[in-house]
Amino acid sequence: MTGLTNADTSQGDNRDGCPLCKIAQREVLEEYPRWRLARTKTMKGHRERLMLFHREHLKTLDEQSIGEAYLLLMGIGSRFFSYVTEWAIFEPVYATVPNHWHRVASDLDTKADDYKQILKTPRTIIDSERGSIHRADPIEQITDESKPKES
């Protein structure tokens, strides 16, 4: 989705050391014909934090597959994130596993450990109350969310 051409699509290169390929079956929450759903290893202070990844070790996917993944994740999120009205799917700019296609989704808890990183990550925000979906791009200045505390 970035439009970058990956001359080095090292697909399959690090399959053996790939944590998503090696994931234990007990860590898989749900399975689909082309995808697996798991909880992320680090929750970063969120009540729920999920990861949907392709069953195969592929670095890049075609647009149609990405669309399928997002649709699937939106359905999954409506169940797993039912405790909040807003949650988001993040683009993998800070991904620790860049060679295996996946998307992380979490609530938008402002007290979470990675909230500042969330603001710097292009994300798709799902608002279940309004039934709306919108994209949010990184903002440079954090103003509204972190008002200086008066003491």
Residues that bind Zn ion (CB under 5 A): 18, 20-21, 57, 100
Report the b/e string of 14-39 with b at 16+ CB within 10 A.
eeeebebbeeeeeeeeeeeeebbbbe
Q: Read out DSSP for 21-58?
A: TS--GGGEEEE-SSEEEEE-S--TT-S-EEEEEESS--
User: Which residue lies nearer to Zn ion by CB, 17 or 138?
Assistant: 17
Residue 15 CB, nearest approach to Zn ion (Å): 6
Closest-by-Cβ residue to Zn ion is 18
User: Which residue lies nearer to Zn ion by CB, 59 or 123?
Assistant: 59
Residue 35 CB, nearest approach to Zn ion (Å): 13
Element (H, E) at 117: helix 115-119
User: Which residue lies nearer to Zn ion by CB, 46 or 57?
Assistant: 57
Residue 27 CB, nearest approach to Zn ion (Å): 14
